[in-house]
Amino acid sequence: MKKPFRERIKEGPIVCDGAMGTLLDLYEYDEIPHEIQNLKNPEIVERVHREYVDAGSEIIESNTFSANRLRLSQFHLQEKLREINLRGVEIARRAAGECAYVAGSVGPTGMLLEPIGKIKRQQARDAFKEQIEILLEAGVDLIMLETFVSVQELDEALGVAKELTDLPVVAQKAFAEDGAILSGSFPIDVIEHLIEQGADVVGANCTVGPQRMFSIIRNVHKDGVILSAQPAAGIPTLLNGRSIYHTTPEYLAQYARELVSSGVTLIGACCGSTPAHIRAIADAVKGLKVGRPAPKIDAKMKDTAPARLEPQYYVESSRWSKFARNVGKKFMTTVELDVPRGLDMSSVLEGAQYCYERQIDAVNITEGARARLRMSSIAISVMIQQRVGIEAMTHRATRDHNLIGLQAELLGAYALGIRNILCITGDPAGIGDYPHANSVYDVDSVGLIRAVRSMNEGTDIMGNSIDSPTSFYIACAANPCADNLDIEAEKIERKVEAGANIAFTQPVFEMKTLETFLKRIEHLKLPIMLGIIPLRSYKHADFLHNEVPGMRIPEKFREMMRTAGPDAAKLGVKLSMDFLKEAKPCVAGAYMMPPFQKYQVIEELLGVV
């Protein structure tokens, strides 16, 4: 007869199991998600559980890590949710018998929560509630929350678990493979937060190997707190599409002893581990007492994080770009330069020089507009700033990079002198040069804005230190011609909340549209750079109106362009000049988009500003 779990963990180290997915892959049941094997091949899942019990595991986790509605929906398996979870626990209980406790495994949703992603916290909470209720119904001995990267998401899962049951709840975060982070105060803050939220056991699992795991745990011990640690079996390599881990059972067992000596009670392993690893761990910790760790790091380290910055519309400090410092002091002007295909950027540099000589404040460098292959906007911006001396407003789209790549590019841009970033979601790859390419979209423009703002505060988007804060001036896009202005205003509100400092609009052509838009967002007090594009011809106007999303050319202007004949281009410039003259008092500046490399139009527009 098993003792109640809370009594057992007071007696000394308790060994958890290892990876389920690694074993299923090894036995060539590698269909994703692995939880589908609860239904298709329950005997192989039971075999894995029994191998871990035979190796010395006192806790085995149900094969339900990915079995929440949001994650299963990515595989069109949401209708199987209840069956997958019930069978997962049933199989684990049969394998455990009276030899082991069954932990109901609950992992993250696999999606980014607002405000970084699009999933609302309540959606995540509902998904966790649905899954945990089924796990409890099936008869688990405890709930195991594991491999959560986002503390906010872990909060939701932990809150649900504590509301639904008095059973023990283990809460484990996955920390980054970063020695600077792991040796700082961040892990301590997380562990203390989870304790305050009511977790019975707190700790870390996955992502990092045993040595990095030891770096975390030795600093977070607290009297009366039960710690867990389940490191991965090192860093994998990819072979024929499969992750191969190289850490030996002996090495993992060595650090298991160190972890228990540093205060860990629940000890196991994660990705890449096998029954051989667990057997070595069980042998290594047999008879050990849970120890006390070495002294913690200086608590003063907690005070080194920079204070959170509020959105700054008007700035003075020299750490900000000249463009940022001038907003609100003068009528600002920027010009969008045409980026050609290939390597020859001489026309772009000539355009930038033309703008510099006419005292334009910045040039806008787009990033793969219409999903077409062009040189990196960062590379072009750096070339312009170094060779011409005019500042760039560098566009960044979320289409082409995942969240790691986006932030890496931002760090690189900052190191190379870029200080102005216009954050956009970007056109989908399917409409461009490579229609079969993948559009990433880990985040949308709001998420990218939040990432840039986090860097201005000295961290990445997940709160990990980047050593020193950046000073990006953050621009966003706005569309005064949107079909639903209420929805557009809500988007802009989210962008401002995320950290946007200024907005660049799509081209606008008449005061009525502009005034309606400005009235709708006046409470935001957001500086507006007004998009101006001189019409070239009736065909140009007709194309923009009917084929380019977000563009609306008033019918009277299209008719005027139609009847203008050969003088249409001159009329287009005059219409832009008249509109800009009238709009100037209402906006912070003009964002000019002249016809292809016809930069002389700029001088005519500048005549009214």
pLDDT at 567: 94
Q: In 3-state terms, what secondary structure has residue 505?
A: strand
pLDDT value of position 316: 63
Model pLDDT, residue 158 = 97
Residue closest to 194 by CA, chosen among 228, 158, 165, 230 = 158
Task: Indicate the helix (H) or strand (E) that contains 397.
Answer: strand 391-397
Confidence of residue 182 (pLDDT cuts 50, 70, 90): very low
Pick from 153-167, 198-212, 431-445, 573-587: least confident:
431-445
Q: How far apart are CA 427 and CA 91, in angstroms?
A: 47
Q: Among 145-154, 457-466, 567-576, whose mean pLDDT is lowest?
A: 457-466
Please state, as a whole number, how many other Cβ atoms lie within 10 Å of the Cβ of residue 309: 14
Q: What proportion of the chain, given as a percentage, has pLDDT over 90?
A: 72
The mean pLDDT of 576-583, rounded to a whole number, is 95
pLDDT tens digit sequence for 358-407 = 999 999 999 988 788 999 999 999 999 999 999 999 999 999 999 999 99
Domains of the chain in start order, with CATH, are: 5-302 (3.20.20.330), 322-606 (3.20.20.220)
Copy the structure tokens of residue 328: 């609100």
Cα(325)–Cα(336) distance, integer angstroms: 20
pLDDT confidence tier of residue 185, bands split at 50, 70 and 90: low
pLDDT of residue 300: 36
CB atoms under 10 Å from CB of 126, counted, come to 16
For 508-545, what is the HEC assignment? Answer: CCCHHHHHHHHHHHHHHCCCEEEEECCCCCHHHHHHHH
Q: Give the rounded distance of the alpha carbon of 188 from its chain centre.
A: 23
Question: Residue 464 pLDDT > 90, yes or no?
Answer: no
Residue 604 CB burial class (10 angstroms; 0-12, 13-18, ≥19) = middle
Asked if the model's pLDDT at residue 210 lies above 70, the reply is yes
pLDDT at residue number 318: 73
Q: Tell me whether strands 237-239 and 332-336 are parallel, antiparallel or unpaired.
A: unpaired
Q: For 498-524, what is the mean pLDDT?
A: 96
Residue 236 has pLDDT above 80, yes or no: no
Residue 282 in tokens: 């069980």
Total residue length of the chain: 609
Least confident stretch, 215-219, 245-249, 581-585: 215-219
**Interval 78-88 mean pLDDT:** 98
Q: What is the mean pLDDT of residues 546-558?
A: 86
pLDDT band at 304 (very low <50, low <70, confident <90, very high): very low
User: Which DSSP helix (H) or strand (E) runs through 223?
Assistant: none
Give the whole-angstrom CA distance, residue 350 versus residue 593. 16
d(CA 149, CA 384): 39
Amino acid 240: pLDDT: 64
pLDDT at position 551 is 83
pLDDT at 380: 97
Give the burial class of 253: count Cβ atoms within 10 A of its Cβ; 0-12 exposed, 13-18 middle, 19 or more buried. Answer: buried
Overall average pLDDT of the 409-434 stretch: 92
**For 109-147, what is each residue's pLDDT tens digit?**
999 888 778 889 999 999 999 999 999 999 999 999 999
Report residue 225's pLDDT band, with 50, 70 and 90 as the boundaries: confident
In this structure, of 90-94, 495-499, 538-542, the range with the lowest mean pLDDT score is 538-542
- Start-to-end CA distance of the chain, whole Å, equals 85
pLDDT, one tens digit per residue, over 25-73 is 999 998 999 999 999 999 999 999 999 999 999 999 999 999 999 999 9
Residue 265 is predicted with a pLDDT of 96
User: Would you list the DSSP string of 402-458?
Assistant: -HHHHHHHHHHHHHTT--EEEEE----GGGSS-TTSPP--SS-HHHHHHHHHHHHTT
Q: What is the pLDDT of residue 183?
A: 47
Using CA atoms, how far apart are residues 364 and 580, in angstroms rounded to an integer? Answer: 19
Task: Kindly tell me the sign of the dihedral angle through the C-alpha atoms of 492, 495, 499, 501.
Answer: negative
Average pLDDT, the chain: 90
DSSP state letter for 388: T
